[in-house]
Amino acid sequence: MNRMMAIVEREMRKFFRSPMLMIMSLMMPILQLIIIGNAFGGKIVGTHVAVVDYDHGPEAVKVREAFDGVAANIKTFTTTNYSDEVQAREDVRTGKIDAAVIIPAQYSRRVYTDDAPKLGFVVDNSDLFTSSALEAEMQSLVDAMNAPQIEDRLAKTIALEIVELYPYVNYLKYLLPMTVALAMYISVMIGGGMLYIDDKARGVHEGYLVTPITKFELVFGLNIAGAIKAVLSGVCLTVIGSLIAGLGIVFHPVVMLQMLCLIVAGSIAFNGMMFLLMVRVDDPLVPRAMFGILNVLLLYPSGAMYPTSSFPKWMQAIGVIDPFTYVIHGFKAVMLKNGGWVAIEYDLGFLMVFGITTLLVATPLFKRTL
């Protein structure tokens, strides 16, 4: 026990003496949170839409007034008048403008005679986000223009009433669980992967191996230290990230305890997985090469950014055994939904079993000799 704690002590002293290491393992996820959170979370404004009016009738004027309303209020787009449809299409293609609305000749007459009036909308669909936003905005304008002037006192159509259980979740809040998990993973990757192999290559482990320390003490000493570092990263990111994202619920004592349990269980799972992957590796380049691949392989199938139900079966299969899935599900259940212990008990159970199993598999693989 004393020998195991000596390994933990050595690892923790080294960790606290390397401020750059601590900053790097915290800064990267925070930057990711801020950049991705703001990049995905913002509304599209200030795009440019050309209007080609071949009608000039009263209904065409209505359409143009509706566009002016958008430009003045929601600011999704501003309009520019074009006289030539071909030129407008060419400018969309070359990126000078984002879309073009074509109001055909006889448009007003067709509206008045109910003769299938149509508006043309040319859009650059190579930019999914902008084109979707413009299409949605344009569709809502058309729906508004289609609404009858005089509505029935009792609605005859079926309406869907949406009840949102939780307060509005912006992207910063939505990405926070992923960010905390990522901070823990980076800490494990650096501490349990790169530094572990670097120590091996520098001969530090050779120094351990000539002492009477047992294989069990050495493996568990290294892993306890790794898990402590990941827990510290997770706790720091939870606090800092919650302050940035404005997620006050995290500071409730019960939620705090639930988060701590998830962070501890997640750290054990991540560390066990990393130790199993690295237990027979000697080349310091291997963990560095694996860093990016593992990140993609584990983070994306977990549903951290996109729901797993949209993934192909093979990706969903990865998600089933991926500890990220359970860490992020647990974090979301606690941070965004305040789901209580019931919502995270399966996640906690899986992560503990996963962590202990990987360690038990890695221990016999660990070589007590060089």
Partner 1 sequence: MSSASSTTAGTPAAQRPTAIAVENIVKRYGDFEAVKGVSFAVAEGEIFGLLGPNGAGKSTLIRMMTTLIPVTAGKAMVGGYDVSKDPDEVRRAIGVIPQALTSDQDLSVEENLSIYAKLYSVPREQRKKNIEAVLEAVDLTKWRDAQTKTLSGGMRRRLEIARGLVHNPRIFFLDEPTTGLDPVSRIAVWEMLNKLKSTRNLTMLLTTHYMDEADKLCDRIAIVDHGTLVAMGTPAELKKSVPGANVVEVHFDREDEAWQERLNKMEGVTAVHPEGSGFYRVITRSGSKTTMEIVELAASLGETLTSLSVQNTTLDDVFIHYTGRQLRDEQVKPVFSLPPRPGAQP
**Which residues of the chain form contacts with partner 1 (CB under 8 A)?**
2-3, 5-7, 9-10, 13-14, 17-18, 202-204, 206-213, 369-370
Q: How far is the CB of 24 from partner 1 (least distance, A)?
A: 15
Q: How far apart are CA 106 and CA 57, in angstroms?
A: 8
Q: How far apart are CA 306 and CA 312, in angstroms?
A: 12
Decide whether 59 or 199 has the Cβ nearer to partner 1: 199
Q: How far is the CB of 303 from partner 1 (least distance, A)?
A: 38
Token pair in block for residue 77:
């787009």
Q: How far is the CB of 18 from partner 1 (least distance, A)?
A: 6
Decide whether 110 or 205 has the Cβ nearer to partner 1: 205
Decide whether 204 or 260 has the Cβ nearer to partner 1: 204
Q: What share of the chain is helix, strand, coil (3-state, %, to 5)?
A: 70, 5, 25
The helix/strand/coil state of 105 is coil
Decide whether 252 or 368 has the Cβ nearer to partner 1: 368
Decide whether 18 or 357 has the Cβ nearer to partner 1: 18
Q: How far is the CB of 290 from partner 1 (least distance, A)?
A: 25
The helix/strand/coil state of 251 is helix
Decide whether 209 or 336 has the Cβ nearer to partner 1: 209
CA angle, 247 then 253 then 259, to 5°: 65
Decide whether 21 or 100 has the Cβ nearer to partner 1: 21
Q: How far is the CB of 221 from partner 1 (least distance, A)?
A: 10
| Residue 142, CB-side half-sphere exposure with 13 Å CA sphere | 14
Decide whether 173 or 200 has the Cβ nearer to partner 1: 200
Q: How far apart are CA 196 and CA 210, in angstroms?
A: 18
Q: How far apart are CA 151 and CA 147, in angstroms?
A: 8
Decide whether 165 or 210 has the Cβ nearer to partner 1: 210
Q: How far is the CB of 195 from partner 1 (least distance, A)?
A: 11
**C-alpha to C-alpha distances, 127 to 97, 133, 270, nearest whole angstrom:** 12, 10, 37
Q: How far is the CB of 278 from partner 1 (least distance, A)?
A: 19
Q: How far is the CB of 204 from partner 1 (least distance, A)?
A: 5
Q: How far apart are CA 314 and CA 321, in angstroms?
A: 12
Sheet with strand 120-123: strands edge to edge: 77-82, 47-53, 99-103, 120-123
Q: How far is the CB of 277 from partner 1 (least distance, A)?
A: 24
The maximal CA–CA distance of the chain, rounded, in angstroms, is 96
Q: How far apart are CA 181 and CA 265, in angstroms?
A: 11
Do 241 and 326 contact (CB within 8 A), yes or no?
Answer: no
Q: How far apart are CA 199 and CA 176, in angstroms?
A: 33
